[in-house]
Amino acid sequence: MEEDKKPEENNEPKVEEKQAEVINNGNDNNGMAVASLILGIISILFNFIGYSLIGLILGIVGIILAVNAKKKNPTSMASAGLVLSIIGTALCGVVFVACIACVGMIGLGASLA
């Protein structure tokens, strides 16, 4: 009987460790999901107030965080973060992305003149 009990006692801390790991990972992923959600919202806001470059950078970071969160633990928060970050990046990208010799070059030419 004693021999039977020993393995159970040995297993208990392992189960707890695993649970703690899952909880920790869940918290990390939840943190990433929340961060991506916030970054996505800020990215959209920055687009509307005219700071598309900052919005684009925040949107990109939001996308990377959301993808990481979704791959490890696909929650609705991570999905929302991903969608908002994509929208923010796309909106800022529309304003910011320009082909070579486009908008930036005019400003550059003006600054050099």
At 20, list the tokens: 């703690």
Beta carbons of 68 and 87 less than 8 angstroms apart: no
Backbone angles phi, psi at 5, to 5 degrees: -70, -35
Can you tell me the distance from the alpha carbon of 41 to that of 35, in angstroms, rounded to the nearest whole number? Answer: 10
Q: Which stretch binds another protein (CB under 8 A): 3-11, 16-24, 31-39, 102-110?
A: 102-110
Q: Can residue 90 be called a binding residue for another protein (CB under 8 A)?
A: yes
- Span of 10-18, 20-28, 30-38, 82-90 interacting with another protein by CB under 8 A: 82-90
Residues binding another protein (CB under 8 A): 53, 56, 60, 63-64, 67-68, 70-71, 86, 89-90, 93-108, 111-112
